[in-house]
Amino acid sequence: MGLIRDLAIQGVQMLLVLALAPLLTGWVRKVKARLTRRRGPPLLQPYRDLWRLMRKEVVLAENASWLFRAAPYLIFAATWVAAALAPTFATGLMFSWSADLIAITALLGSARFFLALAGMDVGTSFGGIGSSREVMIASLAEPAMIMIVFSLALLAHSTQLSTIAAYTLSSNVGLRVTLAMALVAILMVAVAENGRIPIDNPSTHLELTMVHEAMILEYSGRHLAVLELANFLKLLLYVSLIACVFVPWGLAPVGSGALAALIGLGAYVGKLAVGGVLLGVFETSLAKMRVFRVPDYLGAALMLGLLGALLLFVSRGGLR
């Protein structure tokens, strides 16, 4: 019975993240448009874009290799699995035994590896620039992410997301400066990884400084649709990761009934909405950074993660 329940929750979750991801992106776009006093596209526009792209034919460059055609599906698969591993509305997922933070980071890392390769495959200069910048950002964002994972793991004695969420819910958390630093650091990393505004502008094809858009410039048709969907999923993944670790209230615990799951679902949608509004406000109030300032920005995130881990060490009175 427990197995069936876990399996059902896992299945629902996989479909749920897929269904909600474009909506979240549409919501962020809507918030940003309203903040600049524009009407903005309707909330369902990302779904329509995907549908339209799906029906269009694929235009391939003559010298595109098999990698160029395979990469979108690989990227999408890795991102989808990663998004399915983070508890969204209920803990106790079927794949929970493998669903630790390090696995999620590794999945996202491999997705990025294929994206960078695909960007360079056709040999246009834009793709090369985009790939090199993406890898530069990643080489700084990943250590920062790993430091955050270490701090959380030291606090909760586990890298399992369910265990960390349970630890945050329990009363013996206290007032932890490390948690605050990890939160700020993970927010900075999430903004960088998703190519949001201080690092990259997600809504333009016209800037010479674009990163993500430069890599997928050569794609069209269903390949582009799959890549876009993977990008939507990545944003959703980061929001649900942060929600699961830092605001886990409302998560349906293991072995609870349908009512708890419904409450969890409502809370999750609420958290996504709030996260989208915050991201919109953040992006509207900032200007894009010069590419050469990015190392400073991510260096600060890395520093926060490292400092958080160090402070934790002191409060334990470590070094016996």
Partner 1 sequence: MTGLSFDVAHLLAGGLVLMSFTLLYQDRLSALINVFALHALVLALAVAWQAYVQHAPHLYVTAVIALAFKAIVIPLALHRIIRQLGIHREIETVVGVGPAMLVGIGLVALSMVVMLRVTEDADRLAREDLAFALSVVLLGLLMMVIRRNAVGLIIGFMSLENGLVLAAAGAKGMPLVVEISVAFSVLIAFIVIGVFLFRIRERFETIDIEALDRFREARE
Binding site for partner 1 (CB under 8 A): 174-178, 180-181, 295-296, 299-300, 302-304, 306-307, 310-311, 313-315, 317-319
DSSP of 103-162: HHHHHHHHHHHHHHHHHHHS--HHHHHHHHHHHHHHHHHHHHHHHHHHHHHHHHT--BHH
Euclidean distance between the first and final Cα of the chain, in Å?
46
Other beta carbons within 10 angstroms of residue 303's beta carbon come to: 14
**Would you say 136 or 260 has its CB closer to partner 1?**
136
**Tokens 């493998």, residue located:** 98
- Least distance (Å) between residue 150 CB and partner 1: 14
| CB atoms closer than 10 angstroms to residue 70 | 13
Q: Which two tokens stand for residue 123?
A: 């040999």
Closer to partner 1 at the Cβ: 77 or 311?
311
Whose Cβ is closer to partner 1: residue 38's or residue 293's? 293
Pick the closer one to partner 1 by CB: 19 or 180. 180
In the Cβ-directed half-sphere of 35, how many Cα atoms lie within 13 Å? 17
The distance of closest approach from Cβ of residue 179 to partner 1 in the complex, given in angstroms and rounded to an integer, is 10
Minimum distance of partner 1 from residue 295's CB (angstroms): 6
Shortest reach from residue 300's CB to partner 1, in Å: 6
Residue closer to partner 1, measured from CB, 64 or 154: 154
Note whether 134 and 122 are within 8 A (CB): no
Cα dihedral 81→228→236→78 (10° resolution): 20
Residue 19 contacts by C-beta under 8 Å, 6 or more apart in sequence?
Answer: none
In the complex with partner 1, the residue whose CB is nearer, 197 or 302, is 302
Q: Please, what is the minimum distance in Å from the beta carbon of residue 153 to partner 1? A: 19
Give min distance, CB of 282 to partner 1, in A: 19
